[in-house]
Amino acid sequence: LKHSSKPEDKWKAACIDELRHQYAANLRVAYVQGDAKKKTPFFSVLLGSSMLDGTPCDKVLYRVRLPGNPIIGEGKPENQNHAIIFTRGEYLQTLDMNQDNYMGE
């Protein structure tokens, strides 16, 4: 989103960064890095936040090479599944930001 030319995407990226820096001790963001069109390798990246001279900055905590494009079917389930490698323990909670309080989905 940061590199998008759309103002709405840049605003979303700024909001995500603000939340990540505000809750840096507990909040991590996992995303897929790679491009199927350019045939670059895919990586699952866990991004955290740290302070450098009083300025918040991105910190890549883990970067794992994936065997191929993880988004082969529906985008949302595969996007959540690639982040499981960064979890530990017996319980995992994922948040669906598009539910809009509709319990039938």
pTM of this structure: 0.68
Cα dist from 32 to 17, 23, 51, whole Å: 17, 22, 24
Q: What is the DSSP string of 8-39?
A: HHHHHHHHHHHHHHHTTTT--EEEEE--TTTT
User: pLDDT band at 94, cuts 50/70/90?
Assistant: low
pLDDT at site 50: 79
How many whole angstroms separate alpha carbon 32 and alpha carbon 61? 14
**55-76 average pLDDT score:** 79
Whether 100 shows a pLDDT value over 80: the answer reads no
